[in-house]
Chain A
Amino acid sequence: MAEKILSKNFDVRDAHTLRVYRETGGYRGWDKARGMEPAAITEEVKKSNLRGLGGAGFPTGVKWSFIPKGSTAPKYLVVNADEGEPGTFKDRYILERDPHALIEGMLIAARAIDSRLGFVYIRGEYVQPWRVFSAAVKEAYDAGLLGKEVPGGGFEVVIHRGAGAYICGEETGLISSLEGKKGWPKLKPPFPAIKGAFGQPTTVNNVETLACLPHILTRGGEWFAGLGTKSEGGTRLYSVSGHVARPGVVEAPVSVTLRQLIYEHCGGIPGGRALKAVVPGGSSAAILTPDEIDIPMDVDGPKSKGSMIGSAGVIVMDDTVSIPDALMVVARFYAHESCGQCTPCRESTGWIYKMSHRLVEGKGRKEDLDTILDVAKRGAGTTICAFYDGAVGPYISYIEKFREEFEALIRSGAHA
């Protein structure tokens, strides 16, 4: 069993308190970072090969380096704790079980980008995580870790609760929401690093991404890079759910294969059933078939099969699952969550849901499958944000990889 790093405190009693967090070695990374030049912190993180763990997989150190240097404008660090990608639940574990790891990560990131004010955007439904994290922030203020008056400049944290909208996990949608508007994504450029929250340079980082930083600072970027593969450093928290014997958050080096996650870490498929399909990186990732699971779960592995690692939310489906039925469920989600700003997304998600619903009701038409594929392929890449591209992942892959099942359903005129 590989060493636990990000999840090492998940089962430690009271690890959410400052006292226990310190006992487990907490805030040593910050102690080191506070004595370093900001540019040196960024260099260390670049060396670590840490990539954003919210979904996009962008190299974190590079993202920070886009913040203009020497500018006197306020710069904001925004934490994306709006976890919402279907099949993903790892950030909730950090918020509830190891909240100081996030605060320590924020302190390190804030020093790297010269930010004095951070916002933590927590999805509104996460009431318990919000309570635990708020208590940890209060402790950090009381201990002099946070606050305007802390020697060396100080850093303040504002916790902001969302109100129910998947699109606010998209970084510019999140910024709109933080600014007191509906969560419509913004056209880029300008990128948030130049003109982000409240019009100022802003870095948006995911919870898990920031929770890696204390370890990178304590043990070095090279060490972290060495845990992973060529394309991505470190370990990751994989959220595994669906038809596995032991669903849950699994920490593993990013070289772990999808097969190992399902059969070794999560105990395989219960009831002696066979694997039919698996979503490797949250519902927006294209579905994979049983012959496609011998891939490393880093940025490149799922990509080699036309999918993506995304948020590393793994959803396992056994051979009892109807893929048309699963498509209807996923299509309903994208139709419900489309923000409505861009016509291709608003119209296509709505109509594709209606068609997928018609299919499972046994009222599908022969031309429906090609119509969905046509609409999906033509709309991809035409919208302001990546939401629709994410919806297209399941639309196309479910139909192309399981076309016979869809066709049989249309022929029989009834749902199996």
Chain B
Amino acid sequence: MPDPRRPQFSAEQLAEVRRLQGLYPDKQGALLPVLHLAQDTFGYISLEIEEYVGTLFDLSPAHVHEVVTFYTMFFQKPRGRHIVAVCHNLSCHLLGAKGIIEHLKERLGVEPGETTADGNVTFLTVECLCACEQAPMMQVDDRYEGLLTADKVDGILRGLA
């Protein structure tokens, strides 16, 4: 993965940045999409990336920082190879999210907000992911996993090893 401390998009990516900027009446509209691109490329959004992205938009690093820190999906420090994000909102809570969270704490050996020592999994608790019909549920990287039980969680974790 390219170095997040010395960020530089490839020529192809820079063309994509310009294409995204061209979709909006004001190019600043593309800031979130470009930050997604940056995070996909470098793994997280370092201060250096904020400054670099700012130069692509003629925006101050402070503005980019303000945006990055506002949204939960932008990570400001390195994260695990996988994200396991358990919903702890009401419907999932009613159907046992607490037990799932405790089970994950034990299996992963970390608290919510932390990454396992081997760098494999970042464990999070999150607000409603809007899949309450599958409660209790969690997001694992790009996909939703629902109707969770301790056994089902174990199977999912094995798939991430």
Contact = CB atoms under 8 A, between A and B. Distances in A.
B139 to A, nearest CB: 6
B37 to A, nearest CB: 11
Contacts of A181: 28, 31, 63, 66-67
A183 B74 CA distance: 14
Interface in B95-142: 95, 126-133, 135, 139, 142
Interface in B9-43: 23-26, 28-33, 35-36
Contact of A198 (B26, B35, B67): B26
B79 interface: no
Contacts of B150: none
B32 A330 contact: no
B160 interface: no
Nearest to A92: B130
A128 B95 CA distance: 24
Given A158-B23, A163-B73, A333-B128, A247 B135 contact: yes
A179 B144 CA distance: 28
Contacts of A321: 94
A321 B94 CA distance: 7
B89 interface: yes
Contact of A128 (B57, B71, B126, B142): B142
Interface residues of B, number: 42
A163 B72 contact: yes
A74 B25 contact: yes
A160 B32 CA distance: 8
A84 B128 contact: yes
Nearest to A282: B128
B95 A242 contact: yes
Nearest to B26: A198
Interface string B1-14: 00000000000000
Contacts of A178: 29
Interface string A346-389: 00000000000000000000000000000000000000000000
A329 B89 contact: yes
A282 to B, nearest CB: 9
A332 B28 CA distance: 32
Nearest to B73: A164
Nearest to A127: B142
Interface in B80-99: 88-91, 93-95
A248 B142 contact: no
B47 to A, nearest CB: 17
Contact of A87 (B32, B59, B91): B91
Contacts of A91: 130
Nearest to B69: A182
Nearest to A333: B127
B133 A87 contact: no
A125 B73 contact: yes
A392 B117 CA distance: 41
A240 B25 CA distance: 39
B143 interface: yes
B59 to A, nearest CB: 8
A239 B28 CA distance: 35
A157 to B, nearest CB: 10
A336 interface: yes
B127 A337 contact: yes
Given A127-B142, A163-B71, A164-B73, A198 B90 contact: no
Interface string B53-81: 00001010001001100111110000000
A162 B127 CA distance: 15
Contacts of B33: 160-161
Given A87-B128, A247-B133, A317-B94, A163 B74 contact: yes
A165 B71 contact: yes
A283 interface: yes
A395 interface: no
A397 to B, nearest CB: 14
Contacts of A180: 24, 26, 28-32, 57, 59, 67
A86 interface: yes
Contacts of B30: 180
Contacts of A126: 130
A200 B25 contact: yes
Contact of B91 (A86, A124, A166, A332): A86
Which A-B residue pairs are the 10 nearest by beta carbons?
A180-B31, A164-B72, A241-B132, A163-B71, A182-B70, A180-B28, A164-B73, A86-B128, A241-B91, A127-B142
Interface of B: 23-26, 28-33, 35-36, 57, 59, 63, 66-67, 70-74, 88-91, 93-95, 126-133, 135, 139, 142-144
16 contacts: A88-B128, A89-B130, A163-B35, A163-B73, A178-B29, A179-B26, A180-B28, A180-B67, A181-B67, A183-B70, A183-B71, A239-B132, A241-B91, A283-B90, A329-B93, A333-B90
Given A161-B36, A166-B128, A315-B91, 9 more contacts: A86-B91, A86-B128, A89-B131, A162-B71, A165-B70, A179-B28, A180-B28, A241-B135, A330-B90
